[in-house]
Amino acid sequence: MTTYDNTLNADGALIVGAGLAGLFCALKLAPRPVTVISPKPLGFGASSAWAQGGVAAAIGAGDSSHAHAIDTEIAGAGIVDEAVAESVTAEAKARIEDLARWGTPFDRNAAGEFQLGREAAHSKNRIVRVEGDRAGYAIMQAMIARVRETPSIRVVEGLTVVDLARADGRIIGVFARKLGDRYGEPVFIRARATILAAGGLGGLYAVTTNPPGVRGHAMGMAARAGAVIGDPEFVQFHPTAIATGADPAPLATEALRGEGAILVNDLGERFMPAIHPDAELAPRDIVARANFRQIKPAVRCSSTPARHWAPASSPPSRRWQDTAPMPVSTPSRA
């Protein structure tokens, strides 16, 4: 067996990343021993805490996971793996119930049922929310509290994983460094199983709505270890952000369009109805491309995405004001 100096042992499985995927996995593995690595204190540096609109699941009366899968396939324009769409949508309700059982205070009506919002490409209201646009923050706070009180989960904060450790054709753990220490000797963390939950790669782009530290590290490590990376060209862009000049840019949540907000260009023209029958509620790739065409200097607009957002012409309903008071709120940026 390969030996290394500077070695730590993770009891049981090692989870790289402490967003919702990492913490949820740790809770599901309890009471088996698990070590979770988070570069920043729990709740920081993860897209999960920035998510706003909510989570989609076929929960409402007259809805079905099959209908949700069909909507997903239509939005995917012929390139969706049907089996994956069916299995993910079939599990969604049970996973929402897990999140609720573990303490997420989802919005509910007087009868105690989930209040369901609408988002693009869904033919039914299926988005479970928390206080309008605070779903990600509230879910993460609930999961963090649960993780902290679970004795089988050890959280190691302040380390960034830099590579997978291999021996005899197997992954035997990871190499990690203190966050911000680019040149120090990495520590080897030995583990019986290593789970990569280090998020996406939005932080690689010039402007992103993701935390800047989410930069595709796990994909790189997996590729170096010989994994075949599937469909890396599929990167989801939020079609509407507020161009404050800052990176990351604050998101203008899609729930606004779900509640009737429309998109107009600098000339005050609404452009989405000519592009897709669902207009502003077309699939995100279509709205994102349409916005991009409007802000390209070669077209007649030189405005920023912020100026492409406009509320619906009718005054917002009381519910809209209650549920989406601050479309650019991002509770825990760090």
Ligand X SMILES: Cc1cc2nc3c(=O)[nH]c(=O)nc-3n(C[C@H](O)[C@H](O)[C@H](O)COP(=O)(O)OP(=O)(O)OC[C@H]3O[C@@H](n4cnc5c(N)ncnc54)[C@H](O)[C@@H]3O)c2cc1C
CA–CA dist 47, 18 (Å, integer): 10
- Tell whether residue 213 is a contact of ligand X (CB under 6 A): yes
Whether 134 and 329 have beta carbons less than 8 Å apart is answered as yes
Q: What contacts 202, CB < 8 A, 6 or more positions away?
A: 47, 208, 209, 210, 214, 235
Segment interacting with ligand X (CB under 6 A) among 85-93, 212-220, 223-231, 310-318: 212-220
User: CA angle at residue 235 from 231 to 240, to 5 degrees?
Assistant: 160
Which single residue brings its beta carbon nearest to ligand X?
19
Single residue of 34, 147, 198, 201 touching ligand X by CB under 6 A: 198
Whether 238 and 308 have beta carbons less than 8 Å apart is answered as no
- Tell whether residue 256 is a contact of ligand X (CB under 6 A): no
Segment interacting with ligand X (CB under 6 A) among 90-98, 213-221, 225-233, 293-301: 213-221
Which of 172, 214 has the CB closer to ligand X? 214
Question: Residues 164-193: x/- map of binding to ligand X (CB under 6 A)?
Answer: ------------------------------
Burial of 48 (0-12, 13-18, 19+ CB in 10 A): buried
For 276-307, the DSSP string reads: -TTGGGS-HHHHHHHHHHHHSTTSS----GGG
Segment interacting with ligand X (CB under 6 A) among 63-71, 81-89, 206-214, 304-312: 206-214
- Tell whether residue 53 is a contact of ligand X (CB under 6 A): yes
For the bound state, the minimum distance from the C-beta of residue 31 to ligand X, rounded and expressed in Å, comes to 22
- Tell whether residue 161 is a contact of ligand X (CB under 6 A): yes
Which of 53, 132 has the CB closer to ligand X? 53
**Active site annotation includes 192:** no
CB contact burial 231-263 (16+ within 10 A = b; e otherwise): eeeeeebbbbbbbeeeebbbbbbbbbbbbbbbb
Which of 198, 301 has the CB closer to ligand X? 198
For the bound state, the minimum distance from the C-beta of residue 209 to ligand X, rounded and expressed in Å, comes to 4
Position 329: which residue type? S
Task: Report CA-CA distances (Å) from 261 to 256, 264, 273, 295.
Answer: 5, 10, 13, 19
Among 146, 215, 257, 284, the active-site one is 284
Whether 49 and 332 have beta carbons less than 8 Å apart is answered as yes
- Tell whether residue 283 is a contact of ligand X (CB under 6 A): no
Q: Interface residues for ligand X in 32-51 (CB under 6 A)?
A: 37-40, 45-48, 50-51
| Count of positions on this chain that bind ligand X (CB under 6 A) | 34
Q: Interface residues for ligand X in 86-105 (CB under 6 A)?
A: none
Which of 146, 301 has the CB closer to ligand X? 146
Q: How many C-alpha atoms does 317 have within 13 Å on its Cβ side?
A: 8
Active site residues: 284
| Interface residues toward ligand X, by CB under 6 A | 16-22, 37-40, 45-48, 50-55, 135-136, 160-161, 197-199, 209-210, 213-214, 217, 251
